[in-house]
Amino acid sequence: MKTSASNPMNKAHSSPRCLARTRRGTLCQCPALRGRTRCKLHGGKTQGGGAPVGNKNRLVHGRHSRAHREAMALIRQFQRAARDCLDPG
């Protein structure tokens, strides 16, 4: 390949490269966004974390918490005892 100092593509090719790892295990090597270390495909535009603000996937409702499970076990125990009182046979 012919390289010369007057070729404007020399500057473009010498720009910082994205160092994200691809699915093949190689480095992405697309041009990184200005002032960033990643390209537009690998989170170069994000300001902080990649997750959206107020992520509802992380919602904790407490249905499977230890306190709730113990309360439900106690309720079932009372139900069993009440059933046995009403119908001893």
Q: Residues interacting with Zn ion, by CB under 5 A? A: 18, 20, 28, 30, 39, 42
Collapsed DSSP state (helix, strand, coil) of residue 2: coil
Closest approach, Cβ 14 to Zn ion, in A, equals 17
Query: Quick one: how far is CA 13 from the chain centroid?
Result: 32
Collapsed DSSP state (helix, strand, coil) of residue 51: coil
The residue among 28 and 36 lying less far from Zn ion, judged by its C-beta, is 28
Closest approach, Cβ 16 to Zn ion, in A, equals 11
Spatial distance between the Cα atoms of 79 and 57, rounded to a whole number of angstroms: 34
The residue among 10 and 22 lying less far from Zn ion, judged by its C-beta, is 22
The residue among 21 and 83 lying less far from Zn ion, judged by its C-beta, is 21
DSSP 25: S
